[in-house]
Amino acid sequence: MPAYRINDWLENPRLVDVPVPQPGRGEVLVAVAANGLCHSDLTMSQIAGEIGELIGWRVPFTLGHEIAGAVAALGEDTTDAPQVGTPVALVSPASCGRCAYCLAGRDSACPNGLAGRGYGRDGGLAPYVVAPVRALIPLNGLDPVAAAPLTDAGATSYHAVRRVLPALAPGGTAVVIGAGGLGGFAIQHLKACSPARVVAVDTSPARLAVARELGADETVSGVGSERGDPARVAGALKEACGNEGAAAVLDFVGTDATITAGVGAVRPCGAFGLVGSGGGRLRASWYGGLPREAEVFTFQGSTIADAHAVVALAAAGRIRSLVEVFPLDSVADAYDALDDATLRGRAVITP
């Protein structure tokens, strides 16, 4: 079968021919109907061997960690699996299910989970993928093409929004920096789950138009760009949030400029969450550098429960999954469109 793979450390991905995988004990084979493309995929060919091995990745591996399809075959010891033919979405992050984090329902922090389907293990940019039974989420009527992006863009942004909910009282403002795949869902989760006014920030006017469509109350353009002076950017954000500042800022970009501007816009007792992997840093002094009494945190992906919750929100019509569909042999063009921020919806490949 064709598979879009990273064949060796520091090599760009390409389409190659590989055997159809066999499900092992406790695993099922899934026929992939749809796989969403994530901005993180664009950075994966930059992982060097030492780091990859340290975090438990192995090469070669097939990219794609936003997967939905149907159960195609059952491995041994899968009596609790949905029957063959059942439409499912897949939780991509791996987790052991046994460590203290997993037992507390915080499986996105599982130390055994740094490799997942599509990053360090074979993912969904191929007609078939294998997954353990506990990674399967029955779709209950949801279209797999709409469901695929929910498993990371939808669930990771939900994880972030859930974390800042205590800071969001009526009258408060939440800022979403980077209204792309994850940010578009974050806007919707904020509107569905909190009373906050939502301000979306993006360098792309097209993405700001989509942000409005998805429920943003206000949009701020041009701020947070690499060239933007963070002090001016923070000023523009403060203005958009009223004088007291933002109750919560979620940064889905993560450059020096967006982190500095985002942290600078948070009011006392607010929250700043960093999701974007832009590699930026914050230089902040003891006084005036960080918002007083605020939460400043980074996080990793989403929990299994987050993915189930987001599928339920979509099935109930509380959030929408905007997509643009591409065939597998156009995957490189789809990644280019993602990188250029010209997509209206999440790029979804139908292998």
Q: Of these, 201, 249, 250, 309, which contacts ligand NAD (CB under 6 A)?
A: 201
Task: Please list every residue from 244 through 303 that binds ligand NAD, using CB under 6 A.
Answer: 252-255, 258, 275-278, 300-301
Decide whether 197 or 207 has the Cβ nearer to ligand NAD.
207
Give the position of tokens 């997954």: 131
Nearest to 324 by CA among 180, 126, 155, 140: 180
Q: Give the C-alpha separation, 186 to 22, whole Å.
A: 36
Decide whether 251 or 306 has the Cβ nearer to Zn ion.
306
Nearest-approach distance from CB 299 to ligand NAD, in angstroms: 6
Nearest-approach distance from CB 87 to ligand NAD, in angstroms: 24
Phi, psi of 327 (to 5 degrees): -75, 165
Decide whether 107 or 251 has the Cβ nearer to Zn ion.
107
Q: Of these, 23, 64, 172, 180, which contacts ligand NAD (CB under 6 A)?
A: 180
Q: Give the C-alpha separation, 262 to 37, whole Å.
A: 26
The 3 state secondary structure assigned to 192-222 is: HHCCCEEEEEECCHHHHHHHHHCCCCEEEEC
The one segment of 69-77, 96-104, 151-159, 322-330 that binds ligand NAD by CB under 6 A: 151-159
Binding mask 39-78 for ligand NAD (x = CB under 6 A): xx--------------------------------------
Task: State which residue has the least CB distance to ligand NAD.
Answer: 180
Task: Please list every residue from 102 through 121 that binds Zn ion, using CB under 5 A.
Answer: 102, 110
As given in the structure block, the two tokens for residue 343 are 């997509």
Give the position of tokens 């989420």: 137
Q: Is residue 62 a contact partner of residue 21, using CB atoms and an 8 Å limit?
A: no
Q: Give the C-alpha separation, 52 to 58, whole Å.
A: 7
Nearest to 170 by CA among 197, 191, 200: 197
Q: Which does 173 bind (CB under 5 to 8 A by kind): Zn ion, ligand NAD, none?
A: none
Helices (H), 104-229: 144-147, 153-164, 181-193, 205-213
End-to-end CA distance of the chain: 10
Decide whether 106 or 318 has the Cβ nearer to Zn ion.
106
The one segment of 20-28, 33-41, 84-92, 112-120 that binds ligand NAD by CB under 6 A: 33-41
Nearest-approach distance from CB 155 to ligand NAD, in angstroms: 9
For position 175 contacting ligand NAD by CB under 6 A, the verdict is no
Which residues are CB-neighbours of 341 under 8 A, at least 6 positions away? 180, 202, 203, 204, 206, 207
Decide whether 132 or 181 has the Cβ nearer to ligand NAD.
181
Q: Of these, 95, 204, 219, 321, which contacts ligand NAD (CB under 6 A)?
A: 204
For position 99 contacting Zn ion by CB under 5 A, the verdict is yes
The H-or-E segment that residue 104 falls in is none
| Contact residues for ligand NAD, defined by CB under 6 A | 38-40, 152-153, 156, 177-183, 201-204, 207, 224-226, 252-255, 258, 275-278, 300-301, 338, 341
- Residues lying near Zn ion in the complex (CB under 5 A): 95-96, 99, 102, 110
